[in-house]
Structure 1
Amino acid sequence: MATRHALFRSSSSSSSSFSFTAIVRSFATASHHNNHRQNHKFLDSNTFLGSWQPPKDPKEAEAKLAMLRREYAKQVKEVRKQYIHEMELLQIEKQRKDEARREALRVANEERKKLKAEAAQIRAQERKIAQQEFRETLLRERAEKLENWRMKVKKHGDKMAEKKNSLHKQSSMWIDEANLEQRILDAMTSQGGFYPR
């Protein structure tokens, strides 16, 4: 019944801001109350209820009433002691659960930090290996380029030496300037096509 009223109130008061969580909350509250009502243990009825028999003498009635008050005060004091003891036990249980939860969180945090540190270490090692491989590749490429450049320089030197050799060979066949005119005249006359005037 209370649930129905809570639902009606929540839906009628703000139909525009109708939310699913309000319904769930009202159902949860209602189920908690029902559960409490079913599991609650009531105390036995008090002996003071219906125990008063009015005496004829007022002094006797006053003494009896004072005794009843004292007994009632004792019982209230005992109930309060039990309540305080129960509350202390609940507080101790709550502290124990809080400490257990904090310990579990601490262990989980330490485990997460440990895993994070291990992952960072693995990443650092992978980065180091990648840098080493990159350095080795770079050095290999540089060595190949240097070897290529040396080959080119050698080829160029060989070409220059070959050119020089061929020039030396050709220069051995060259004619001195003194004999040049005579050789030209001999060549022309041997062909027979040119006679000087």
Structure 2
Amino acid sequence: MAALRHLLRSPTTKTLKSFRSLSTSAPSHHNHHQRNHQYLTPNDYINSWEPPRDPEEAHARLAQLRRDYADKVRQARKDYIEEMELMRIEKRRQDDAKMEALRIANAERKAAKDAAKKVRAAERASKERAEKLELWRMRSKQVEEKKKEKNELMRRKSSMWIDESELEKKILEAIVDTTPL
């Protein structure tokens, strides 16, 4: 690293040549690939055609090649269609499984919601019953208190009541001694 810094600080022709030689001496990927590339073995099918001497035989062999090619293409298409059908069936099965899982999850969520609603409704009803009971107790207590007050008032007033023997005297006094309003 220090040598590279030294080279960069003093760019003389000698250092530039040595730097250039360093960059070209390392084998590049391209050179390495060209030296070590291994080619495939020759295909038996290529260059296997030997032209027949008779034109009818040539036409027959060419027709046979076309038929073989058509059969291979037909088989490849058939295989492709079968593979696509299998993939479509698998995708439909996966989609159905997903939909079923979603349906079950929704049903469970709905059941949980309904259960929570029922619990809240029961709590609300219990609270309302407790409030009504408390209200009823308060009202009955107020009625009791009013009765007690009325009885107390009656007891006080009854202490001022006049005996029957003095009642006639009081009536006569009231008639004789009237006070103007």
TM range (shorter): 0.5 to 0.7
Query: Residue 100 of structure 1 corresponds to which residue in structure 2?
Result: 97
SS of residue in 2 equivalent to 1:147 = helix
Q: Which residue of 1 aligns with 2:141?
A: 144
1:62 pairs with 2:59: yes
Runs of 4+ in 1 over 3 A off after TM superposition: 46-53, 174-177
Q: Which structure's relative contact order is higher, taking Cα pairs within 8 Å and 6+ residues apart? A: 1
Q: 1:93 to 1:50 in 2, by over 3 A?
A: farther
- Which residue does the alignment assign to 2:38? none
RMSD: 2.6
1:89 to 86, 95, 100: 86
Calculate percent identity across the aligned residue pairs. 41
Give the Å deviation of 1:49: 5.3
Shift of 1:162: 0.9
Give the alignment partner of residue 113 of structure 1, picking from 110, 113, 136.
Answer: 110
The one-letter amino acid of 1:67's match is Q
Gaps of 5+ in 2: 1-42, 174-181
Structure 1 position 88, deviation (Å): 1.1
Structure 1 pair 47/74, CA: closer, same or farther in 2 (3 Å)? farther
Q: Distance in 2 between matches of 1:92 and 1:168?
A: 111
Q: TM-score, normalised by structure 1?
A: 0.58
User: Whole-Å Cα distance in 2 between the matches of residues 77 and 64 of structure 1?
Assistant: 20
After superposition, what is the alpha-carbon deviation per residue over 1:154-180, rounded to whole angstroms, capped at 9, x for unaligned? 01100110111xx449x59x7998xxx
Aligned length: 128
In structure 2, the partner of 1:153 is: 150
CA distance in 2, matches of 1:117, 1:47: 74
Amino acid of the structure 2 residue aligned with 1:127? R
Task: Tell me by how many angstroms 1:81 deviates.
Answer: 1.5
**Distance apart, 1:66 and its partner CA:** 0.4
Which residues in structure 2 correspond to 1:38-49 (within 5 Å)?
none
Which one of the candidate residues 76, 79, 84 is aligned to 2:76? 79
Give CA-to-partner distance per residue, 1:6-37, whole Å, 9 cap, x none.
xxxxxxxxxxxxxxxxxxxxxxxxxxxxxxxx
